[in-house]
Amino acid sequence: MADEVGLDRLTLAAVAARLGVTLPSLYKHVNGLDALRRELALLGLHELTAELSAAAVGRAGRDALQAVAGAYRSYAHRRPGVTAAAVAAPDPGDAEHVTASEQIFGVLVATLGGYRLAGEDLIDAIRSLRVVLHGFTSLEDAGGFGLARPVHGTFERLIDALGDTFVHWGTPDPPTGNRIDSQDAKRA
């Protein structure tokens, strides 16, 4: 139902009606709307982890990035409500949700492994990738691209540009001036 009506319009009353049960009966199975959204988030994280992992297997660098991005886009179009639930950060006290988030994070770390990113650079790169993937697919699903050019080409170019950015993401700024001093030589 979340995929049909959207996560923001999902209600327990509608779920109960769809299942042919009373609202009080539904509470025997789910402890409120927040609990239902949590379950949808877990479902989305597990499904996305499996699909992104399958897309990345045997690939590296730009090829892995394009494959994972394409898998995310495909999933987000098939499961828009579940995808919306899956993007929320977990409550730090919810071990199951944290573990599911760590698993998909691990897939993204592996996907970006060819870019030799670490520490804060890696975190920033993963955040940037998530923004691009979620933002693009959200705009696409909302009908936000009305120009005649097919959006698939735009998506591929955007992911390629992001890959180009990741190549230089952790590269320090070059020294100023044309002279190379002894300190620059030692750093080289």
Instruction: Give me the mean pLDDT over the 153-177 stretch.
Output: 82
Q: Which of 132, 120, 118, 123 is nearest to 163 (CA)?
A: 132
The per-residue pLDDT for range 81-130, each reduced to its tens digit, is: 999 999 989 999 999 999 999 999 999 999 999 899 999 999 999 999 99
CA pair distance 58, 47, nearest whole angstrom: 19
Indicate the average pLDDT of the chain. Answer: 89
pLDDT band at residue 173 under the 50/70/90 scheme: low
How far are the Cα atoms of 18, 47, 81, 96, 106 from residue 91, in angstroms, in the given order?
Answer: 29, 20, 20, 10, 18
- Written out in words, the top-level CATH class of the domain with range 41-171 is mainly alpha
pLDDT reading at 11 higher than 90: no
pLDDT at 126: 96
Beta strands in 54-188 (DSSP E): none
Query: Could you give the angle at the alpha carbon of 132 between the alpha carbons of 126 and 135, nearest 5°?
Result: 130
The yes-or-no verdict on residue 162 having pLDDT over 90 is: yes
CA dihedral 174, 177, 179, 182 (to 10 degrees): -50
pLDDT at residue 178 is higher than 70: no
Average pLDDT over residues 39-43: 96
Predicted pLDDT at 87: 93
Domain ranges of the chain: 41-171
The pLDDT assigned to 172 comes to 59
Among 48, 39, 60, residue whose Cα is nearest residue 134:
48
- What DSSP element (H or E) covers 112? none
